[in-house]
């Protein structure tokens, strides 16, 4: 079966390669020719744009940075809807605003195109292993038809509700991860300033109630002052921006998210936007005047 794939960045390239490995024919496009070349070298076909892809494929995946990019690739000139036939299924796996998913889905419906929003968690290593966590929204029947294909990219594929529910779930994930990194940074700075070895604190508490996947992944990075991404600060700013906008729209209070957003904005202004989000620790280090683990 032919699958279209639009957006071959850090995540899209390994995800598209896993579709090839699972036996799907992939037709792809991206603004960067070198990204496309990596996929054609692996056996995919190239297309000029979303319209050309939609003329050939009844299933199309988008993996793009944010809402405007997905709107452009789907609704814009040369976009998916220019070439799509009724019955086509669009699966947007980007992390975007839930309201944007709903808007794009309405435009798709006018052309008889079904849409799922199916963002992922897990980052590049899990995209490479095909073990992403995929959280999907849309019609249940469409989700059921697409599950097998999604399993080529993820080990967990969960239906969350109507269109937009996948991205709401992803925003909840991103809020928890950001606040957790800030909490870990705050607590480990307390240990550092008090003269207790943060490495020992980690050893003592990681198996208790405060322990978390975030703690296990990020504390070794913070102790080693290794902020190589990973998941970039700038991408997390994008996600928290979507979370705050969504929260304001529905009346959900997000005071802690707003605080961590300010830390991220400071880090961006200080030139750390391309570092891993574990660099939230840098914000505490700047205020406290010392390194955690230093």
User: Which of 81, 73, 163, 67 has the alpha carbon at shortest distance from 115?
Assistant: 163
Q: Residue 105's closest CA among 72, 71, 148, 140?
A: 71
**Cis, peptide link before residue 139, omega less than 30° from 0:** no
Q: How far apart, in whole angstroms, are the C-alpha atoms of residue 167 and residue 26?
A: 25
Classify residue 279 by its DSSP letter: G
Active site residue 71: no
Measured from the CB of residue 83, what is the shortest distance to ligand NAD in angstroms?
14
Stretch that binds ligand NAD, among 118-126, 141-149, 159-167, 249-257 (CB under 6 A): 118-126
Site string for ligand NAD, 95-114 (x = CB under 6 A): x-------------------
* CB-based contact 277:236 (threshold 8 Å): yes
Positions in 246-285 near ligand NAD (CB under 6 A)? none
Shortest distance, position 108 Cβ to ligand NAD, whole Å: 16
- How far apart CA 197 and CA 209 sit, in angstroms, is 20
Q: State the residue number with the nearest CB to ligand NAD.
A: 9
Name the maximum alpha-carbon separation found in the chain. Answer: 65
- 17: exposed, middle or buried (C-beta count within 10 Å: 0-12, 13-18, 19+)? buried
Q: Minimal distance in Å, beta carbon 115 to ligand NAD?
A: 16
Site string for ligand NAD, 208-247 (x = CB under 6 A): -----------------------x---x------------
Catalytic residue among 126, 170, 218, 238: 170
Q: Which of residues 65-84 bind ligand NAD (CB under 6 A)?
A: 65, 69, 72-73
Question: Which of 30, 52, 117, 275 forms a contact with ligand NAD (CB under 6 A)?
Answer: 30
Q: What are residue 157's phi and psi, to 5 degrees?
A: -130, 110
- Which residues of this protein are in contact with ligand NAD, per CB under 6 A? 6-12, 29-32, 35, 63-65, 69, 72-73, 94-95, 120-121, 123-124, 231, 235
């Amino acid at each position: 079966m032919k699958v279209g794939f639009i957006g071959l960045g850090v995540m899209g390239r390994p995800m598209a390669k896993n579709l090839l490995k699972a036996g799907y024919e992939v037709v792809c496009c991206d603004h960067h020719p070198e990204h496309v070349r990596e996929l054609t070298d692996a056996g995919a076909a190239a297309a000029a744009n979303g319209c050309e892809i939609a003329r050939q494929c009844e299933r199309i995946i988008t993996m793009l940075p944010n809402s405007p990019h997905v709107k452009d690739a789907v609704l814009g000139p040369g976009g998916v809807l220019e070439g799509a036939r009724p019955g086509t299924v669009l699966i947007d796996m980007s992390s975007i605003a839930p309201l944007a998913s709903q808007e794009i889905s309405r435009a798709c419906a006018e052309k008889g195109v079904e849409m799922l929003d199916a963002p992922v968690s897990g980052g590049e290593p899990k995209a490479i292993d095909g073990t992403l966590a995929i959280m999907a929204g849309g019609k249940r029947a469409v989700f059921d038809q697409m599950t097998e294909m999604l399993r080529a990219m993820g080990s967990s594929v969960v239906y969350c509700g109507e269109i937009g529910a996948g991205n709401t779930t992803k925003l909840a994930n991103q809020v928890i991860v950001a606040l957790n990194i800030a909490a870990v940074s705050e607590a480990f700075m307390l240990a550092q300033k008090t003269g207790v070895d943060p490495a020992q604190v980690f050893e003592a508490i990681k198996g208790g109630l405060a322990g978390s996947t975030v703690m296990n992944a990020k504390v070794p990075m913070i102790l080693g002052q290794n902020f190589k991404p990973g998941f970039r600060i700038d991408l997390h700013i994008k996600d928290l921006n979507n979370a705050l906008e969504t929260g304001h729209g529905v009346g959900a209070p997000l005071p802690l998210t707003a605080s961590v957003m300010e830390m991220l904005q400071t880090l961006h202004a200080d030139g750390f936007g391309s570092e891993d989000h574990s660099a939230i620790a840098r914000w505490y280090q700047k205020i406290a005047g010392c390194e955690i683990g230093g």
